[in-house]
Structure 1
Amino acid sequence: MKTNRFNRILVPVSLAVESTTAFKQALYFRKKFGAEVTLLHVVQKMGGLSNVFQPSLKNSLQGRGMVRLIRFAKMHFRGRIPDDVNLRVEVGNHVQTIKSIIDSEPFDLVILNRSNRIDGLSERYNSNSVNQIIRESRCPIISVNDRWTGSGIRSILVPVDISRQSRDLVNWSIKLGTVFNAKIKLLAALTVNIELKRSLAYKKTMIMKHLIEREGVKCSVDIVEKENHARNDVLIEGARKTSADILLVQGAQELMFSNSPSEKLLSDFLQSSSRPIFSLAIKDEGLVSSLLMMNSKQVELSERISNRAFKW
């Protein structure tokens, strides 16, 4: 089934073995959505040279980088690169270059690798770099480690942070559940001494489940009860024990303070999960509606969610 929800996908690749997982994940989405994929290879800029030589040096680095990128792409496409796969080489700082492109160009989805190594260069992708890109991204990001959704997406695990608004989380659950015909699994944590059905975790997830199922998407709820435990730890442990093809996790779009428990939850998932993570790192909530081409019924749904479920 082709849709126009993800028309342009950006895939930063290092050309190392670790790039293969993100590349394969991108090809899966390319086939699923009929999307145009841009493979981006960033060459580390060499310092210590006079500015007079910088233009020629940049051209030289770009040229050599493009030769390697073409070789990388042809190897995976058996010699012929499809017309809807674009190759791009930039020279500069890896993280800053990727962030700049995401901010300034209309990509609908970014797929990147969470591995530590970038092509043997001195600069590394580490957890802080990935977090920085995701936190400041203006479009959703799928980050992969050693697994990708090659056999399809049949179940989506959605950890619920009960301290945050979840309007976008519900909307994306409905959209992804519909597109992939996948079941949504809501996961929440109850860490205080209170009857389950009186808890915020229960009330919130039940409302979310009702709204998701009303749109024709299958949904289940699992609330892990562990009194006097850190909520993030309970969610991480619960996620490990729950089977799913991909995780749908809120980003930091409406958080005012960094290093908060809510922001740390995303970081913990990025570090601990071997499964792909779909991160909602959109700063402008209006982008959700435009990107997903929400109709008036779904916009009204968002308002009902905001008014009913998340003013507790």
Structure 2
Amino acid sequence: MEKKEARILVPVDFSEQSKEGIYQAIQIANETGARIYLLHVIRINLPPWNFMDDKERENQILSIEQALVKEAEELSQDTPPEFSTIVVEGKLCDTILDQAAQIDAELIVMGTSTAENIKKKIIGSNALRVATEADIPVVTVKNGCASKNLDKIILPLDLTKETREKVTDAVHLAKRFHSKIYAVSFSSTRDDGVVGHLKGQLRQVSDFVEKAGIEIETDFRFYDGNRRKKFLEYVQDKDADLVIITTHQQPEIVRFFMGSFAKEVVHSAPVPVLSIVPKGTFKVLTSMPGTD
């Protein structure tokens, strides 16, 4: 049976943020052999599109396709990955999710804004919406924060039922990129029951990851007041390349997520953030030996 082509979807609006997304996708594609699909969404009912006739629109779309490939090739080094282009009309987030399904993408990579600029840059909220609604993993990366290598993966753990799936995905990713996993739990309480469960989980995760042949370091830390600040300090202290978090699709949980620690990590982490919806693993990596 012919092996299925791995596919990464990258929304591009020719901003510095989306350029960062292209660069990050290239680094992943160089390791996974995936084809990158560059998506540009247009609004034909808005200027200048609504002033063009059919021929002018056709020529403009061709120019955009050429510009997409040129920008991607300029960001590539050595042997560039395979690129395809998609230029379609629609609403940005809905179109991204729809196109991801149409091409059967395994991953979406999106540039996003810094926390300081989030009120000025709409792509920040769009990236967050895609991360919470997509049924495949989504990598969000801020300008200047792309990782050339994924040597160090940060895995924050809690007591939710999705933790085991997140660990499995981290193992898949670490095998592909020969990464070391840093699993960390934070607690604002010193309750013996809670602390005992968290530390016990860390031991179980460590055993599971080591049996998979992946190097792992675990850490448990208390925090007072600002969990995000403590976590970001940990990320910087470890000189990390990627953070993995879990998102949810249920409406009531999405509302919680949008104002939660996870949202703050997406907006503030100085490295790319891989958001995983808790169902199924990182499909682009499931063909690797030892991950079945």
- Give the TM bin, normalised by the shorter chain: 0.7 to 0.9
Q: CA deviation at 1:102?
A: 2.1
Report the 3-state secondary structure (helix = DSSP H, G, I; strand = E; otherwise coil) of the residue aligned with 1:216.
coil
Which amino acid in 1 is paired with 2:18? S
Q: Decide whether aligned partners of structure 1 residues 108 and 290 sit closer, same or farther in structure 2, where only a CA change above 3 A counts.
A: closer
Q: Decide whether aligned partners of structure 1 residues 76 and 162 sit closer, same or farther in structure 2, where only a CA change above 3 A counts.
A: same
Distance in structure 1 (CA, Å) of the matches to 2:167 and 2:230: 21
What is the count of residue pairs matched by the alignment? Answer: 281
Match of 2:269 in 1: 273
TM-score by length of 2: 0.81
User: Considering only aligned residues, what root-mean-square deviation do their CA atoms show, in Å?
Assistant: 3.6
The residue correspondences of 1:114-125 to structure 2 (distance < 5 A) are 114-115=112-113, 124-125=122-123
Distance in structure 2 (CA, Å) of the matches to 1:123 and 1:234: 26
Which residue of 211, 215, 219 corresponds with 2:216?
Answer: 219
Distance in structure 1 (CA, Å) of the matches to 2:4 and 2:210: 21
Which amino acid in 1 is paired with 2:43? Q
Distance in structure 2 (CA, Å) of the matches to 1:75 and 1:13: 10
Report the 3-state secondary structure (helix = DSSP H, G, I; strand = E; otherwise coil) of the residue aligned with 1:15.
coil
Q: CA deviation at 1:197?
A: 9.4
Q: CA deviation at 1:196?
A: 9.1
1:90-146 deviation line (CA, Å, top 9, x unaligned): 112111211221234311111111138xxxxx993133x222111111211111112
TM-score by length of 1: 0.76
Match of 1:252 in 2: 248
Match of 1:200 in 2: 197
The residue correspondences of 1:57-76 to structure 2 (distance < 5 A) are 60-61=56-57, 63-76=59-72
Bigger Cα Rg: 1
Q: CA deviation at 1:172?
A: 0.9
Does structure 1 residue 173 correspond to structure 2 residue 170? yes
Identical positions, percent: 17
Contact 2:172 2:291 (8 Å CA) reproduced = no
Q: CA deviation at 1:26?
A: 1.5
Return 164-173 or 229-238, whichever deviates more.
229-238
Match of 2:286 in 1: 293
The residue correspondences of 1:1-312 to structure 2 (distance < 5 A) are 7-47=6-46, 60-61=56-57, 63-77=59-73, 84-115=82-113, 124-127=122-125, 129-146=126-143, 147-150=145-148, 152-195=149-192, 198-226=195-223, 229=225, 231=227, 234-253=230-249, 257-260=253-256, 264-281=260-277, 285=279, 287-288=280-281, 292-293=285-286
